Amino acid sequence: MKRLWLVFAQAVTVLLAAYFVVGTLKPEWLGRGALPGGTVSILEAPSTAPSVQAAPGSLSAAVRKAAPAVVSINTSTSARHPLSNDPWFRFFFGERGEQQQSGLGSGVIMSPEGYVLTNNHVVEGADAIEVVLADARSASAKVIGTDPESDLAVLRIQLDKLPAITLGNSDALQVGDQVLAIGNPFGVGQTVTSGIVSALGRNQLGINTFENFIQTDAAINPGNSGGALTDINGHLLGINTAIYSRSGGSMGIGFAIPVSTARQVLESIVKNGQVVRGWIGVEPNELTPELAQTFGIKTAQGVIVTGVLNNGPAANAGIRPGDVITQVDGQPIRTVSELLTRIAALAPGQPAPFVLQRRGQQVDTSVTPAQRPAPRMRQR
């Protein structure tokens, strides 16, 4: 009995010794890489692979989705000195050749076919345009069309496997929603800032003819123009366009063109080469108490017509100075900006219903809009 016990004890001792040696020198043979209690084994380095799960509150998933579709835009323009034709200038300073001026901006890839949306003022007057992607690829861009009245332009590049951004719903935005601004401020490279929607429907800023801006406090600086304003899911909500600033830098007041407007402009330019808008030939003004008293108007809602173009669509439909337009195509009208936007959305040549107030009486009429004339060039 004692002999069997001695053999058993020796066998256990040998097995424990072998287990210790194998566990120390070849732990993978035992299918483990850590010691009990969760301590990482000194013989196997911890994994350095990045975690795919974002930290609580992180917006990295939205950035990963949207950032590849946001591009940097470099422009160059040849410019002559304004006095280069003056003989006295040439006498004192000699012949001055053309000088290259460069510009920076941002853009958003809207489709895998290579259509890029940006601001008109980013590419206006440029002789050469280069688009640089987030993955460092670059390509020369061709201007497909521009729309100075909304300050948007459509470019096209020829590259394979282009990442297109996902469009969001800017009409569902509410003040206080979180947003991201992605662009190339000051040419430092792609930069992401965050903030909230500060206000909606901003207009009468004197920036564009058609204004319906999203206001945000996400930091937007020179070079961000044409970049993306996205929601926390990485969906495009707007095209960053302008800032209010006294120093040239961000003061927490930035403006973006809603994606609903940008999409209409993109589709019209791609289809027609230009933006086709409706036009009726009236001079509208906000309805003030003074104008209401002058024209004997009792309604408090609408836009008053102070001028009508002879033989224009509005004149042919019987609209007169002093009429108040309260509805266009079934949509209520409260401001001049709303009136211009509603009329611009009408298809030229297709009659649309208008509701007017004339001396306290409601007047229903039908107006057949014409195509809006091309705007005159203006200094920005």
Backbone angles phi, psi at 367, to 5 degrees: -120, 130
Q: Clarify whether residues 289 and 259 are in a common domain.
A: no
Bridge-based pairing state of the strands 278-279 and 303-308: unpaired
∠86-78-129 over CA atoms, to 5°? 165
Same domain (yes/no): 172, 150? no
Report pLDDT digits (tens) over 51-69: 456 677 788 899 999 999 9
Residue after which a domain boundary falls, among 156, 188, 205: 156
Query: Is the domain of 186 the same as that of 212?
Result: yes
Write down the catalytic residue from 106, 147, 150, 151: 151
Residue 171: per-residue pLDDT: 84
What's the DSSP call for residue 259? H
Domain boundary at 109, 135, 156, which? 156
- Rounded-to-integer distance, Cα 145 and Cα 128, Å: 15
The number of distinct structural domains making up the chain is: 3
Beta carbons within 10 angstroms of residue 363's beta carbon? 16
151 is catalytic: yes
Out of 72, 106, 150, 225, the active site residue is 225
Residue 2: inside a domain, yes or no?
A: no
Residue 363 sits in the same domain as residue 265: no
CA distances, 170 to each of 77, 145, 212, 227, 250 (Å) = 34, 23, 11, 16, 23
Q: Catalytic: which of 72, 106, 121, 250?
A: 121
What CATH number corresponds to the domain at position 133? 2.40.10.10
Give domain status of residue 141, yes or no.
yes
Owner of token pair 């987030």: 134
User: Could you tell me the residue range of the domain that residue 70 belongs to?
Assistant: 63-79+99-156
Distance from C-alpha of 127 to C-alpha of 42, rounded to nearest angstrom: 61
Give the per-residue pLDDT at 248. Answer: 64
Looking at residue 266, what is its pLDDT?
A: 92
Among 228, 252, 272, the domain boundary falls at 272
Which element (helix H / strand E) includes 292?
helix 289-294
In a shared domain, residues 250 and 207: yes
Q: How many CA atoms lie within 13 A of 355 on its CB side?
A: 14
| 121 catalytic residue (yes or no) | yes
Residue 364 has which token pair?
A: 């229903």
Q: Find the angle CA(208)-CA(250)-CA(103) to the nearest 5 degrees.
A: 65
Instruction: Tell me the per-residue pLDDT of 277-291, one tens digit each, with 9 for 90 and over.
Output: 899 999 998 888 877
Q: How far are the Cα atoms of 27, 35, 238, 246, 272 from residue 16, in angstroms, in the given order? A: 15, 16, 68, 78, 83
Per-residue tokens: 173: 């935005």
CATH classification at residue 346: 2.30.42.10
- The whole-number pLDDT of residue 4 equals 61
Low-confidence stretches of the chain (pLDDT beneath 50) = 32-51, 91, 377-380
